[in-house]
Structure 1
């Protein structure tokens, strides 16, 4: 098994991530409790650790998770891009004739910040060492940034299906393009973790129109349009330099251009 995992790292990672998380979530649903459910979210992290251990690269992978010296603009983007996206979403809804409920802004800050902290420390942000810290660089060694993102986004989305239902893979598949760009520009899993932490409360609290079919369509449409614009603006590179190193790993330092 160790030899097979070492020879098929990506397949092994995806299978292990699903097996670990889905098993723990199933146990939680059967009465295992919130702690077991939260542990299920660590499936991608655990899968990456197992795979890298079979290849004697676990220490290198773990060190890569500590990259934090990047251009401060990327921290700003990670924290504020979700807010900007939802500002556009609300503007589109107003143009379509929907009436925003500004009372939703009352007491927003504590709830928003609390959700951000929870996701970044014990929630979904801890998926990032697996998805972006391990799987994305592995995929980009073999494929173009767009192809790598589509494969990773689909795998990331399928991983969410037990939580969000049969169509739960769609939004992660689209959002993966933003994560790829951030990772390729910074080489930092931490920046991706912060982006994950900020996107969740934005989705939870920043839609100012009561939930309806039109809201869901506008949200998904805005995600797709923004991801497509990013892909076109970067000419399909999604932040990966043309003169990429042989390993296709992103740079470990800040870069002067945003695209």
Structure 2
């Protein structure tokens, strides 16, 4: 990057947690109050904007014209997406779930899991909005800031931890998916946090292999969320799904060792260091 901007991951993620955890705390409080569902939902939406708003603050306060241009280019230029990766972006998650469901049925679980979920249509807005707002932040600034400091593999694992922690307030939100896990089996609760690891690995692989296209990351994230909500999938099967995605992640890492285990840090936060087909 021409003006040698240095990424600031600590500032970014601290800002993200403040901008998200504060409104989500209010959302959790209102979720237990009668006739306050609207307020709870509004605070959930505000908190969801946290990663994106934090990225905008970091980018636009940076004083770096190159950083601003880089963000716009990665958001607008669809030519960054490599055509060969489009099937991966759209089909990897559903195919992995199909295999997991088949294995689940083979060990005695119900075949009804192949049926579409009745509440899928009502979840469409959140399936679109959540990945969009998250990836505008995570891939718009967050992941590059970690990679510039730690290298690819360490940054990915650290991001997995931060991403999992970011969801914590949702476990205290009444009638929420995460709250349901909190009140279910500890295994299913643990699976939620473990599942973040392969999701982060595959998301970063797609992101960097597509020239850091934010749109590619958004589409892959949408495919993951849509797949998780589209079918009547049991939590038992979602554990298998995590295992399948972990296996795929290991294959991806094995096939891209130089990429994931780069020997030195990538410059001074230069977006140019991340450009091109990695």
Counterpart for residue 59 of structure 2: 52
Label 1:114 to 1:185 Cα distance change in 2 as closer, same or farther (>3 A).
farther
Runs (4+) of structure 1 exceeding 6 A deviation are none
Pairing 1:99-178 to 2, within 5 Å after superposition:
99-102=109-112, 104-106=114-116, 115-116=123-124, 118-120=126-128, 122-163=129-170, 164=178, 167=190, 168-178=192-202
The answer for unaligned runs of 5 or more in structure 1 is: 1-5
The more displaced of 8-17 and 56-65 is 56-65
**Alpha carbons 2:12, 2:58 under 8 Å: kept:** yes
Query: Higher relative contact order by CA 8 Å / sep ≥ 6: 1 or 2?
Result: 2
2:175 maps to none
1:219 corresponding residue in structure 2? 241
C-alpha contact (below 8 Å) 1:61/1:134 kept by paired residues? no
Unmatched 5+ stretches in structure 2: 31-38, 171-177, 183-188
Contact 2:159 2:200 in 1 (8 A): yes
The change in CA–CA distance for 1:33 and 1:112 in structure 2 (over 3 A counts) is closer
Q: Please name the residue that 2:77 is paired with.
A: 67
Q: 1:217-252: per-residue Cα shift (whole Å, max 9, x none)?
A: 323222221211211121252599x9x89743142x
Change (3 A) 1:227 1:94: same
- Who is 1:80 aligned against? 91
> How many angstroms apart in 2 are the aligned matches of 1:236 and 1:93?
35
What is the CA-CA distance between 1:196 and the residue it aligns to? 1.1
- Is the 8 Å Cα contact of residues 83 and 202 (structure 1) preserved in structure 2? yes
Residue 191 of structure 1, CA deviation: 1.0
Kindly indicate whether the alpha-carbon contact (under 8 Å) linking 1:86 and 1:207 is maintained by their aligned counterparts in 2.
no
Structure 1 residue 112: deviation in Å?
A: 5.0
In 2, Cα distance between the equivalents of 1:112 and 1:42?
22
Aligned counterpart, 1:181: 205
Aligned to 1:197: 222
Alignment partner of 2:273 out of 241, 248, 253: 248
Q: 1:17 to 1:101 in 2, by over 3 A?
A: same
Provide closer, same or farther for how the CA distance between residues 129 and 239 of structure 1 changes in structure 2, counting only shifts above 3 A: farther
Q: Secondary structure at the match of 1:65?
A: helix
The DSSP-based 3-state class of the residue aligned with 2:78 is coil
